[in-house]
Chains A and B, each alone.
Chain A
């Protein structure tokens, strides 16, 4: 190590945590921020007593996430699961998210055509319609409202359901399963049961699509890969489950948490409310950087010895690339703890980096670019009456955000 004196090898590693400082719900935990100040790569201990390398800075994370000597395979014995509940389901969750090349790209390319810039831009009018309908209903019901259930969650859920061809009427069921799956406090039994219940539902749905295909992603998956025998119904359903869960949890939390952050920064809020689409697009990148809701970090295993940031990571050792810390790296973002919607923030790692970078990122961008200004223009007096310290932040969920956001206008 070059920058700080190396800790003795037998010194206990500090515990990895997502626990933030009281009153600072938008900033990474003080413990991990301190680790970033010490070195680009440091040791942390995990919930099960194992030790991982925590990669804290932007440059080293980009290098590692692009490096073929780093594996995303969750079946690897050294893989650092985020909790006992994730550990319980990892054998049942094999998708392209946790595969390495060349298998990863071969599987991912089945879906990339549905998430191109062109295809996602074409969804704009439909997304605008959904937003208008949700805001109409929220306005008619009158204040107060919970922004999560009235707007933040139904918007991306409706969009991903339409895209996949999943009946939205079933949203209570799959949102419940999804919430249990990504809650790090779930018991292993509950996580496994939720995961399997959702899988069974999607197996049935994919099989039905193979019989009577419609114009949706799951129908295309069923006709191209299930009917041709290239994939089993189990594989198709696992991929469907990944897209369904990832498609709504993430964007929903960005909408609610982003709105909450803007309400704390009235000048920034005004810029998003009144900005032209180009300025709003930049503001969305900044909110993605500033909030980094994937606060558990990208989980990897070294499959060869790698030297990075002055540290040798040995084959078989666990690696966590903490995107929330990289996105506050002062080497890349000046005055990083300040929310500044006019800064150039596109180099952020909120969607990760490397070949696994978020498949749905362009869809998420469009939803956010449309959702924030529409909400703020409809309700110029939007406010939350509860103090920030009393809001229920999602500290223990794999995706950070708010369980609820009570608002009035």
Chain B
């Protein structure tokens, strides 16, 4: 699994951080998504898939 994020789309809702806190964080000043691990281990895949699905702005792409 490889994650890419689109900072321009991100609206700072923080849903990815709630779903997969090991993989996503938010920038303090504006809440924009910070990718902690672009190729997370298998144990994170379900959480990352949920994060991508519930991201309101569709800013997370999985490949």
Contact = CB atoms under 8 A, between A and B. Distances in A.
Contact of B12 (A109, A346, A352, A354): A109
Interface stretch (A14-22, A26-34, A114-122, A371-379): A114-122
A357 B26 contact: no
A273 B30 CA distance: 35
B14 A117 contact: yes
Contacts of A223: none
Interface in A357-394: 357-359, 361-362
A347 interface: yes
A113 B57 contact: no
Given A117-B17, A118-B26, A355-B9, 7 more contacts: A66-B56, A105-B8, A109-B12, A112-B32, A351-B13, A353-B56, A357-B56
Given A66-B58, A355-B56, A357-B56, A116 B11 contact: no
A107 B8 CA distance: 13
Contacts, number: 69
B53 A112 contact: no
A76 interface: no
Nearest to B17: A117
Contacts of A112: 11-12, 30-32
Could you say which of B13, B26, B50, B58 has the most chain A C-beta atoms within 10 Å of its C-beta? Answer: B13
Interface residues of B, number: 23
B1 interface: no
A362 B14 contact: yes
B12 A115 contact: yes
- List 9 A-B pairs, minimum CB-CB distance, nearest first: A112-B12, A112-B31, A357-B56, A116-B31, A355-B11, A116-B26, A117-B14, A117-B17, A109-B30
Nearest to A108: B11
Contacts of B11: 105, 108, 112, 355-357
Given A66-B57, A347-B53, A355-B56, A361 B28 contact: no
B4 to A, nearest CB: 17
Interface of B: 8-9, 11-15, 17-19, 26-32, 50, 53-54, 56-58
A1 B9 CA distance: 32
Contacts of B27: 113
Interface of A: 65-66, 105, 108-109, 112-113, 115-119, 346-347, 351-359, 361-362
Contacts of B9: 355
A356 B26 CA distance: 18
B14, B31, B32 pick with most chain A CB within 10 angstroms: B31
B14 A113 contact: no
A346 B50 CA distance: 9
B11 to A, nearest CB: 4
A355 B18 contact: no
Contact of A116 (B28, B50, B57): B28
Contacts of B8: 105
Nearest to B8: A105
B51 to A, nearest CB: 10
Contacts of A108: 11-12
22 contacts: A108-B12, A109-B12, A109-B30, A112-B31, A113-B12, A115-B31, A116-B14, A116-B26, A116-B31, A117-B17, A118-B28, A119-B28, A352-B56, A354-B57, A355-B11, A355-B56, A356-B56, A357-B15, A358-B13, A359-B12, A361-B13, A362-B14
